[in-house]
């Protein structure tokens, strides 16, 4: 995938002159000429409302004639485009707050969006270093937004390290706002930068707006009597003010939010931050400067009527587990051990105590899993959660829960591997682990979430399967989904069926009769009654030794073991009788090409297939929620396409699974860089693999 | 009203599969009898075990039972207690299961003080896997995996428990039901993790390893049955333990006309961790084996604190439909 990664790396052009040094007060240099150098995509430009519309990579901007085609007057992002903004700075610069508040204002403006935070791996990296850079990316537009965006069109860089790290990601022609106060030799040294990038030509392919943000912030905050360091801390609010102006957004909701947030702090903190916010806004608005800081106009995205909120995958998954508890009318006992990137689920659930959720932080991964199983034995919904390395430790216990026929939900927030791997990066490489990763023949249902909001439904579905079939269920999500956010239409709880468990039998005095009743499995789901200690007259013993198929007693009988092994396989297969047929999300139910995905690749695939279809290609999209067992109609459905492309953030695990289970031929598109797929990467694969014959047909 | 339960009512229809003469039989009988004595409700009683000879225990108890995986019984029991704090949960483990592979969990279940009884059958050997030395085996123990004698220093289960923060530590002998049963009752009554080390004879792989103090012939001389508020006397009162203030250690003294007076004998205070420490680490040579309730110092039980911290005792008071709206929600009207 190396080529893809570098596709948008700007090539410095030494022939282009360096900008002048200007006095401090006039440090605003706008590389106007670069607009015209921008990569021309699509048809290359069009006339729009009397202005020349120039496509600059991912978005369009309106350039006023009156300024000789040089000064941008306000840029309308057309309905079929989106714009990607990235905020970057030091971990201590408040970049995440800046980004999330901008996202909040985007939500209120009615546009669609998707966000992704990019935290440094180190907790408190030294200030100013490249490995201490924290970033927040948002893709927004007046259309459906399915990913946080391939390449940023706008970068706000609060220090040189942030510029250095993020420059390679940018779209050619991107707009960069830099905080010039941080551009000094000390910070260059910390970021290992040999020469001021503003003078080396590295920025020639971009529009750079230089602003002394720290100076401006200190000026604005001065009257409120904050210490110098506290005052400087307000510069994220200053930048937020400027960005709000650029996007024509109201400051009021941010002011309200800040008022609550800083309520417990000394009043000057709120006053200082608001002063910075207003100053940034005013600065951008000032006539003289607005000519240099472009303004973007983004319309409302078409979305169904309803109430929305912004939600991360971790939050949605947590709420989904709470909802499952409500639907099953049982307590949810969530047992976990801290691990990146799964911990946010533990944090969210710890705040949901009023929803019948209890969280137990165990001494290790094994204990977490075992405690969850103990809770399930006791009649609560036991849930454990981790990431690959932690799941590996839970393996033996998961096998026990399967053998003892107890419900358990195992959430795996996948991260880059193997071993400790890349804890803060994303991957979908634990599919084999979920499906096959236990000793002996121990099949389990496995389902995957497709995006942040989908985690809610997936968590309910995983719990439903676990309880109906009395089995552990793997729920796969990943680091990207856990942290990514976007608007989510609030579900109506009335739309969900209650989660019913297999009714326990009546009390039995006769020991043999009692045992038979306890192991009397439902013929369709093969789930046994959920009998918990404390129930009257139903004492029984379970364990990991092979048990008699009828009485549950320890059994070493050869035929019984055969029968039990088959029963366990049939039970997982039976899940397929309860799940919906696989649908086609976009495109036709047959054709030359289908892109099949699972998990967090959903957004990138959706956009790529959508764009390919707009280009006239007959491509379909199928996204799998159920990985074990597969939907019954999947084999037949896939057989209706000439070519199947399977993008995966691993070396081909689901592809292997589909080949094995369905005997299909697939074209693998594998990416294991720790980064999510870019839309272009999938789109390129579609165009490359699109059969020439089909192209001609489409043209006809 | 049903007839009172007898020890038999706590037995199951499963054939007991320990080696004939194994100390586990005696413990099983003693536990069944104790539960009958206190008229425990089998429906509310659960035995949770790990892996090993001792861990077969739940199959033989007419109560709820869970034979789990090696070393992890305390964690299953913790989860179970959280799901239903009303249950009377017993963990049965051994020196290999509890102190070796499961040492970490034992440590944490004790420090958390989960309201359980933990019976550790210590036979100083791995029985089920055919006789390898265990973490409590004495140095020099010859076994299939240590033909030249084991070289690692053994662990004291009681001292481990005390170090882990246990609030109830007791000891008993498998075949001594008379003294073991009251200990089990005390353990059951204690609110918190009660740790009971039971010296258990593995007749096959480590026969009579505790003979020096369990042998009935010399038991009076070699066993010290401690009682709260009573002097630490043994050998029918002829001997006692006296504190040496210089070494802060216990010394054996003769009591009587030619020896120390009874008032010089140290009086047991079961709430004192310092005394517990001394008793649990008494040297083997020349000292009696302290048995009975050595340490009992109540503290809030985890399962109670857990639900107190979760508010509303874990009851669902909110609705997910409302929780979905926490934070900023906006309305979208499609055109
Ligand atoms: S091996 Fe030892 S501990 Fe195990 S059952 Fe036989 S005698 Fe008892």
pLDDT at B333: 86
> Is this structure's pTM higher than 0.90?
yes
B202 lines ligand 1 (CB under 6 A): yes
Same domain, B136 and B196: yes
Residues of A (175-234) whose Cβ lies below 8 Å from B: none
User: A370-408: per-residue pLDDT in tens?
Assistant: 999 999 999 999 999 999 999 999 999 999 999 999 999
Place of tokens 């604190």: B305
Strands A306-312 and A485-489, by their bridges, are antiparallel
pLDDT of res. B327: 83
Domain limits of chain A? 76-298, 309-495, 511-577, 591-689
For residues A208-232, give the mean pLDDT: 94
Q: Whose CA is nearest to atom 8 of ligand 1?
A: B22
Q: Is the pLDDT of residue A420 over 50?
A: yes
Record: contact A367-B72, CB cut-off 8 A: yes
Query: Is there a contact between A248 and A266 (Cβ–Cβ < 8 Å)?
Result: no
Q: Is the pLDDT of residue B27 over 50?
A: yes
User: What is the distance in angstroms between the Cα of A358 and the nearest Cα belonging to chain B?
Assistant: 7
What is the predicted pLDDT for the residue at A45? 31
Q: Is the CB of B198 under 6 A from ligand 1?
A: no
Average pLDDT, chain A: 88
B22 in a domain, yes or no? yes
Tell me which residues of chain A, numbers 83 to 112, contact chain B at a CB-CB cutoff of 8 Å.
Answer: 104, 107-108, 110
Whole-angstrom CA distances from A88 to A83, A98, A128, B90, B333 are: 16, 10, 12, 55, 34
**pLDDT for res A693:** 85
Residues of chain A contacting B312 with CB distance shorter than 8 Å: 353-354
Second CATH level (architecture) for the domain A76-298: 3-Layer(aba) Sandwich (3.40)
Whether pLDDT at B312 is above 80: no
Q: Would you say residue A313 has pLDDT above 90?
A: yes
Write out chain B residues lying below 8 Å of A253, CB-based.
328
A591-689 topology per CATH = Rossmann fold (3.40.50)
How close is the nearest chain A Cα to the Cα of B50, in Å?
Answer: 9
Residue A623's nearest CA partner among A607, A605, A610 is A605
Q: Would you tell me how many other CB atoms lie within 10 Å of the CB of residue A7? A: 14
Give the pLDDT band of residue A699 (cuts 50, 70, 90): low
- Report if residue B295 sits inside a domain: yes
* The total number of structural domains that make up chain B: 2
Q: How far apart are CA A204 and CA B126, in angstroms?
A: 73
The answer to whether the complex's ipTM is over 0.95 is: yes
Question: Of B267, B290, B316, which one is at a domain's C-terminal end?
Answer: B267
B51 lines ligand 1 (CB under 6 A): no
Question: With an 8 Å Cβ cutoff, is A125 touching chain B?
Answer: no
User: Over 90: is that where the pLDDT of A121 sits?
Assistant: no
Please indicate, yes or no, whether residues B145 and B243 belong to a single structural domain of this protein: no
Using CB atoms, pick whichever of A305, A490, A533 lies closest to residue B324.
Answer: A490
Q: Could you check whether A76-298 and A591-689 share the same CATH topology?
A: no
Q: Is B316 a domain residue?
A: no
Whether residues B255 and B132 share a domain: the answer is: no
B173 and B245, same domain (yes or no): no
The confidence band for A38, taking pLDDT boundaries of 50, 70 and 90, is very low
Mean pLDDT of chain B: 96
CA of B81 to the centre of ligand 1 (A): 30
Residue A66 has pLDDT above 50, yes or no: no
Lowest mean per-residue pLDDT among A21-35, A140-154, A286-300, B318-332: A21-35
Q: Do B83 and A310 count as a contact with CB atoms less than 8 A apart? A: no
**Is there a single domain that holds both residue B125 and residue B196?**
yes
- Tell me whether residue B72 is in a domain: yes
Residues B182 and B255 in one domain: no
**Sign of CA pseudo-dihedral B71, B72, B75, B79:** negative
- CA-to-CA dists, residue A609 to A132, A152, A536, A612, angstroms: 36, 21, 57, 5
Domain range enclosing B114? 7-229+269-304
Do B142 and B33 have their domain in common? yes
The reply to whether B102 and B44 lie within a common domain is: yes
By DSSP bridging, strand B239-244 and strand B233-234 are: antiparallel
Q: Is the pLDDT of residue B26 over 50?
A: yes
Nearest CB among A358, A490, A543 relative to B329 is that of A490
Percent of chain B's residues with pLDDT above 70? 99
Cβ within 8 Å, pair A374-B320: no
| A315-333 confidence digits (pLDDT tens) | 999 999 999 999 999 999 9
The answer to whether A372 and A346 have CB atoms below 8 angstroms apart is no
Peptide bond into A240 cis (omega under 30): no
Say whether residue A309 is in contact with chain B using an 8 A CB cutoff: yes
Going by alpha carbons, the residue nearest to atom 1 of ligand 1 is: B127
The pLDDT tens digits for A247-306 are: 999 999 999 999 999 999 999 999 999 999 999 999 998 856 566 788 899 989 999 999
- Ligand 1 site, residue B16, Cβ cutoff 6 A: no
Average pLDDT of the segment spanning A107-122: 90
Quickly list DSSP for B82-114: HH-TTSEEEEEEEHHIIIIITHHHHHHHHHHT-
Residues B173 and B258 in one domain: no
Asked if residue A180 lies in contact with residue A212, where contact means CB atoms within 8 angstroms, the answer is: yes
Decide if pLDDT at A122 tops 90.
no
Read off the CATH number of the domain in which B86 is found: 3.40.50.970
The pLDDT score that the predictor gives to residue A287 is: 55
Mean pLDDT on A665-685: 96
> CB of B181 within 8 A of CB of B37?
yes
Confidence tier at A79 by pLDDT (50, 70, 90): confident
Question: B65 and B164: one domain?
Answer: yes
Say yes or no: B110 and B164 in one domain: yes
Q: Which of B80, B307, B327 sits opposite A533 (nearest CB)?
A: B80
Determine the length of chain A.
700
Give the lowest-confidence range in A11-15, A278-282, B109-113: A11-15
Mean pLDDT of A53-76: 39
Which of A355, A358, A535 lies closest to B318 in CB terms? A355
Q: Who's near A547: CB < 8 A, 6+ residues apart? A: A403, A519, A553, A554, A555, A564
Residue B330 covered by a domain: no
Q: Does a structural domain hold residue B69?
A: yes
In CATH, what class is A309-495? alpha beta
Can you tell me the mean pLDDT for A135-155?
96
- Which chain B residues have a beta carbon less than 8 Å from that of A374? 48, 66, 75-83
Percent of all residues in chain A with a pLDDT value above 70, rounded to a whole number: 88
* Chain A neighbors of B332, CB-CB under 8 A: 110, 303-308
Residue B151 is assigned to a structural domain of this protein: yes
Calculate what percentage of chain B has a pLDDT beyond 90.
Answer: 93
């Amino acid at each position: 995938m190396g080529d893809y990664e570098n596709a948008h790396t700007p090539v410095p052009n030494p022939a282009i002159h360096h900008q002048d040094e200007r006095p401090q007060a006039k440090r605003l240099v706008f590389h106007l000429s670069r607009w015209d150098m921008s990569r021309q995509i699509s048809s290359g430009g069009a006339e729009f409302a009397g202005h020349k519309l120039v496509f600059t990579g991912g978005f369009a901007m309106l350039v006023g004639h009156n300024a000789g085609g040089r000064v941008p007057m306000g840029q309308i992002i057309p309905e079929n485009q989106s714009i990607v903004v990235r905020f970057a700075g030091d971990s201590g610069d408040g970049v995440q707050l800046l980004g999330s508040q901008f996202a909040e204002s985007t939500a209120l403006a009615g546009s669609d969006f998707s966000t992704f935070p990019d935290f440094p791996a180190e907790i408190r990296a030294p200030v100013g270093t490249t490995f201490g850079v924290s970033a927040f990316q948002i893709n927004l537009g007046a259309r459906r937004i399915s990913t946080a965006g391939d390449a940023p069109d706008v970068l706000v860089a609060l220090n040189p390290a942030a510029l250095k790290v993020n420059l390679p990601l940018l779209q050619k022609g991107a707009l960069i706002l830099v905080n010039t106060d941080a551009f000094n030799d000390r910070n260059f040294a910390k970021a290992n930068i040999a020469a001021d990038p503003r003078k080396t030509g590295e920025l020639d392919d971009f529009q750079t707006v230089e602003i002394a943000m720290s100076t401006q912030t200190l000026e604005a905050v001065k009257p409120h009597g904050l210490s110098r360091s506290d005052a400087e801390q307000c510069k994220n609010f200053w930048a937020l003010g400027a960005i709000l102006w650029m996007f024509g957004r109201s400051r009021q909701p941010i002011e309200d939010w800040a008022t609550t947030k800083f309520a417990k702090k000394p009043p000057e903190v709120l006053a200082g931050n608001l002063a910075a916010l207003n100053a940034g806004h005013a600065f951008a608005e000032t006539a003289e400067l607005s000519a240099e800081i472009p303004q973007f106009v983004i319309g409302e995205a078409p979305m169904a009527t309803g109430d929305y909120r912004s939600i991360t995958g971790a939050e949605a998954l947590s709420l989904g587990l709470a909802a499952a508890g409500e639907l099953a009318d049982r307590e949810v006992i969530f047992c976990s051990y801290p691990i990146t990137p799964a911990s946010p689920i533990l944090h969210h659930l710890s705040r949901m105590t009023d929803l019948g959720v209890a969280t137990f932080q165990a001494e290790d991964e094994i204990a977490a899993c075992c405690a969850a199983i103990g809770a399930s034995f006791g009649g609560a919904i036991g849930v454990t959660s981790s990431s690959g390395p932690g799941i590996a430790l839970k393996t033996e216990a998961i096998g026990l829960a399967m053998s003892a026929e107890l419900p358990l939900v195992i959430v795996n927030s996948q991260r880059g591997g193997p071993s400790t791997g890349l804890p803060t990066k994303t991957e979908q490489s634990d599919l084999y682990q979920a499906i096959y990763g236990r000793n002996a023949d121990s099949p389990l249902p496995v389902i995957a979430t497709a995006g942040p909001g989908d985690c809610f439904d997936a968590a309910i579905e995983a719990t439903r399967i676990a309880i109906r079939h009395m089995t552990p269920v793997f729920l796969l999500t990943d680091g990207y989904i856990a942290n990514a956010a976007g608007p989510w239409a609030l579900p109506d709880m009335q739309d969900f069926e209650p989660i019913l468990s297999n009714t326990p039998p009546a009390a039995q005095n006769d020991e043999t009769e009692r045992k038979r009743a306890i192991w009397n499995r439902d013929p369709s789901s093969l789930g046994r009654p959920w009998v918990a200690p404390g129930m009257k007259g139903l004492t029984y013993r379970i364990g990991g030794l092979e048990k008699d198929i009828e009485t549950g007693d320890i059994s070493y009988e050869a035929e019984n073991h055969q029968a039990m092994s088959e029963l366990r396989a049939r039970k997982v297969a039976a899940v397929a009788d309860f799940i919906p047929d696989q649908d086609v999300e976009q495109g036709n139910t047959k054709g030359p090409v289908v892109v099949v995905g699972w998990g967090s690749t959903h957004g990138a695939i959706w956009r790529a297939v959508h764009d390919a279809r707009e280009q006239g290609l007959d491509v379909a999209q199928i996204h799998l929620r159920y990985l074990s067992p597969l939907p019954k109609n999947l084999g037949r459905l896939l057989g209706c396409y000439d070519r199947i492309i399977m993008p995966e953030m691993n070396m081909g695990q689901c592809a292997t699974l589909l080949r094995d289970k369905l005997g299909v031929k697939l074209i693998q598109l594998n990416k294991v860089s720790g980064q999510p797929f870019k839309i272009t990467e999938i789109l390129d694969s579609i165009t490359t693999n699109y059969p020439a014959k089909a192209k001609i047909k489409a043209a006809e | 009203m049903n007839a009172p339960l007898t020890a038999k009512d706590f037995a199951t229809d499963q054939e007991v599969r320990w080696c004939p003469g194994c100390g586990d039989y005696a413990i099983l009988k003693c536990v069944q009898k104790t539960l009958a004595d206190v008229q425990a409700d089998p429906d509310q009683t659960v035995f949770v075990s790990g892996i090993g000879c001792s861990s077969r225990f739940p199959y033989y108890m007419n109560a709820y039972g869970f034979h789990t995986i090696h070393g992890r019984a305390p964690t299953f029991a913790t989860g179970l207690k959280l799901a239903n704090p009303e249950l009377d949960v017993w963990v049965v483990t051994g020196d290999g299961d509890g102190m070796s592979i499961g040492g970490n969990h034992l440590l944490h279940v004790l420090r958390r003080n989960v309201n359980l009884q933990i019976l550790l059958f210590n036979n100083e050997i791995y029985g089920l896997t055919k006789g390898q030395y265990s973490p409590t085996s004495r140095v020099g123990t010859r076994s299939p995996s240590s033909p030249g004698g084991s070289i690692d220093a053994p662990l004291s289960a009681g001292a481990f428990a005390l170090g882990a923060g246990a609030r109830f530590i007791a000891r008993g002998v498998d075949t001594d039901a008379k003294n073991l049963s009251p200990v089990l009752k005390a353990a059951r009554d204690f609110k918190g993790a009660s740790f009971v080390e039971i010296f258990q004879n593995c007749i096959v792989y480590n026969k009579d390893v505790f003979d020096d103090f369990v042998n009935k012939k010399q038991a009076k001389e070699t066993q010290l049955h401690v009682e709260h508020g009573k002097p630490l006397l043994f050998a029918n009162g002829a001997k006692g333990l006296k504190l040496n203030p210089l070494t802060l250690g216990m010394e054996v003294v003769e009591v009587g006309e030619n020896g120390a007076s009874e008032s010089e004998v140290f009086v047991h205070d079961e709430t004192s961790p310092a005394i517990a420490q001394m008793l649990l680490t008494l040297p083997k040579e020349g000292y009696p084996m302290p048995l009975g309730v050595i340490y009992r110092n109540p503290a809030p039980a985890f399962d109670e604190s857990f639900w107190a911290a979760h508010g509303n005792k874990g009851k669902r008071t909110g609705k997910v439909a409302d929780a979905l709206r926490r934070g900023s929600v906006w309305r979208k009207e499609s055109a």
